[in-house]
């Protein structure tokens, strides 16, 4: 069985208003509803777990889960003080029999079911070739020159062909990502994504080239661009 974790426990400060951005409307319905819909429509995902702020559980259940009949959503999990803690809280709710788990940002509504399925297929394929490959992520190649600086002085230039913008979904064997989170908690390590927790366990994570349109909505400009992309694609 494959499961998905959608992280939606953040309280973004870049947007004005009294509601967290994942619950704001875009193209006719909440951002989070668009994201859940994609996983609902994935043939490879059986169960969905969503981490959200505790004071939004009732609102999310009524205005999103029930309203849009998201039958794969098994539990709304109270998020933690960080994204990493929110993912960990959700991981602990998933049945131990789960094989793969796909972890995704709730504010990346432009992912497609085909991309979700692709990552699962790629992980299973590559793991057969190399048993140390225990995860796969979607990422976009860097298009601009990357500089490393010392203060405001350039120290060196990094070859672009080795640098990627990490995105989500990030898909892992469940037992491994749970162990990686347990180890991070034990060591007091905070990573910037889930793949970084796997890396420090010396487990290989494969990269699949993603689309630049798979943006994370963190600013009003991102919201504007995401809606334009939805309009262009005729997505509802």
Q: How confident is the model at residue 112 (pLDDT cuts 50, 70, 90)?
A: very high
| 96 in Cβ contact with 71 (< 8 Å) | no
Domain limits, the chain: 2-233
Looking at the predicted structure, is the pLDDT value of residue 13 above 80? no
Architecture of the domain delimited by 2-233: Alpha-Beta Complex (3.90)
Which residues does 190 contact at the CB level (< 8 Å), separation at least 6? 82, 84, 184
Q: Give the containing element (helix H, strand E) for 38.
A: helix 31-40
Please report the beta strands in the chain, taking only residues with DSSP state E, as ranges in sequence order. 2-7, 25-26, 29-30, 47-52, 73-78, 100-105, 133-141, 146-150, 153-158, 164-173, 204-209
Q: How many angstroms separate the CA atoms of 170 and 188, rounded?
A: 22
Task: Tell me the HSE value of 78 on the side-chain side, using a 13 A CA sphere.
Answer: 3
Please report the beta strands in 69-144, taking only residues with DSSP state E, as ranges in sequence order. 73-78, 100-105, 133-141
Looking at the predicted structure, is the pLDDT value of residue 217 above 60? yes
| 171 in Cβ contact with 120 (< 8 Å) | yes
Q: How far is CA 53 from CA 14, 18, 23, 77, 104, in A?
A: 17, 14, 11, 8, 16
Q: What are the two backbone dihedrals, phi and then psi, of residue 218, each rounded to the nearest 5 degrees? A: -120, -15
Predicted TM-score (pTM) of this structure: 0.95
Looking at the predicted structure, is the pLDDT value of residue 17 above 80? no
Mean pLDDT of the chain: 95
Q: Most confidently modeled of 16-20, 201-205, 229-233?
A: 201-205
The tens digit of pLDDT for each residue in 141-200 reads 999 999 999 999 999 999 999 999 999 999 999 999 999 999 999 999 999 999 999 999
Mean pLDDT of 66-76: 98
Per-residue pLDDT at 213: 96
Per-residue pLDDT at 10: 84
The tens digit of pLDDT for each residue in 29-62 reads 999 999 999 999 999 999 999 999 999 999 999 9
């Amino acid at each position: 069985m494959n499961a998905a974790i959608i992280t939606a426990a953040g309280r973004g400060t870049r947007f004005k208003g009294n509601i967290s951005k994942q619950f704001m409307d875009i193209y006719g319905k909440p951002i989070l509803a668009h994201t859940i819909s994609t996983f609902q429509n994935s043939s490879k995902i059986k169960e969905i777990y969503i981490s959200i702020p505790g004071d939004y559980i009732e609102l999310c259940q009524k205005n999103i889960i029930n309203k849009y009949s998201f039958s794969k959503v098994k539990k709304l999990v109270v998020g933690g003080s960080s994204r990493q803690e929110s993912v960990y809280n959700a991981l602990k709710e998933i049945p131990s029999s789960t094989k793969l788990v796909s972890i995704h940002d709730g504010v990346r509504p432009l992912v497609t079911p085909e991309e979700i399925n692709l990552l699962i297929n790629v992980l299973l394929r590559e793991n057969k070739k190399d048993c140390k490959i225990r995860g796969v992520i979607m990422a976009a190649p860097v298009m601009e020159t990357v500089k490393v600086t010392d203060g405001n002085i350039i120290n060196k230039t990094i070859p672009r062909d080795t640098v990627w913008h990490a995105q989500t979904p990030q898909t892992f064997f469940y037992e491994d990502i749970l162990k990686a989170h347990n180890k991070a908690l034990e060591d007091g390590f905070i990573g910037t994504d889930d793949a970084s927790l796997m890396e420090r366990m010396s487990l290989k994570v494969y990269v699949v080239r993603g689309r630049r349109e798979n943006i994370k909505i963190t600013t009003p400009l991102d919201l504007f661009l995401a809606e334009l992309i939805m309009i262009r694609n005729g997505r509802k």
